[in-house]
Amino acid sequence: MPASQPRSRARDRNNVLNRAEFLSLNQPLKGNQESRSSSRKQSGQAGAAGAQNSNPKERRQSQQLPEEDCMQLNPSFKGIAFNSLLAIDICMSKRLGVCANRASSWGGARSMINLLGITGHGIPWIAGTLICLVKSSTLAGQEVLMNLLLALLLDIMIVAGLQKLAKRKGPYDVNPGLLDYLTMDTYAFPAGHASRVAMLSKFFLNHLVLAIPLRILLVLWALCVGFSRVMIGRHHITDVLSGFVFGYLQFRLVELIWMSSNTCQMLISIW
């Protein structure tokens, strides 16, 4: 045993790999490993910090995406109800558009339905009111006709303004007629014919003495003119119903600003 120990020591001395210049190759120093690992960690942290600082918008978008997805996947009850009613309105309006074109199921009756719609147009009513105003000789008649003319002009302006704001298209691609362009009735919401006939029927029921059959016919005429616009594909059902509501509100407005007989006589003398 004592002889073998000096021999092993001599072998270790003679081994080239045990020299000082080769020790770093066989057994790396702990200090070097720690410095390398710390430098790697610092470089990784710097890269992550740079990535976070370089793209703040992307981080915000990535944080907002889940919220947006949740909003799209979980809409509110009001949104669901509104979209459902809108889909039902469009579907029913398309089914009731039986005279939208010549190829429709009631395409042969399209000219008659258009003629019914002309009875509720603004231009014939304004022209007829002016003719009656010129021929009228009583103060009461002139007062009623002047306020009727005011109501017709207000109807055209209010409906045209609302249609410009809404800009809703009809259920079918039906081009407006010449009279529609004259009264600026080019969009669908609200229906100008429906608002006009509702206002006229309410005006006549309040200011004219009519028998019961005539009063019933007046209401039926207003309903037929309004829904004839759905049959020819110009308006949705909700457009016509909203037109009836706006027509009644216009009548109430005219009643509030009703011009007296003296005011009407002054305007007639100026004209």
- What residues are annotated to the active site? 193, 235
* Contacts (Cβ under 8 Å, ≥6 apart) of 202: 247, 248, 251
Q: Alpha-carbon distance 271 to 260, whole Å?
A: 17
CA dist 268 and 137 (Å) reads 12
Burial (Cβ within 10 Å: 0-12, 13-18, ≥19) of residue 160: middle
Q: How far apart are CA 40 and CA 92, in angstroms?
A: 69
Q: Distances in Å between the alpha carbon of 225 and those of 21, 236, 244?
A: 108, 14, 11
Contact 250, 195 (CB under 8 A): yes
Backbone angles phi, psi at 97, to 5 degrees: -80, 65
In 3D space, the residue among 138, 125, 117 whose CA is nearest the CA of residue 225 turns out to be 117
The rounded distance, in Å, linking the Cα atoms of 43 and 49 is 10
Contact yes or no for 194/226 (Cβ under 8 A) = yes
CA distance readout (Å), 189 to 47, 81, 117, 212, 235: 58, 20, 16, 32, 7
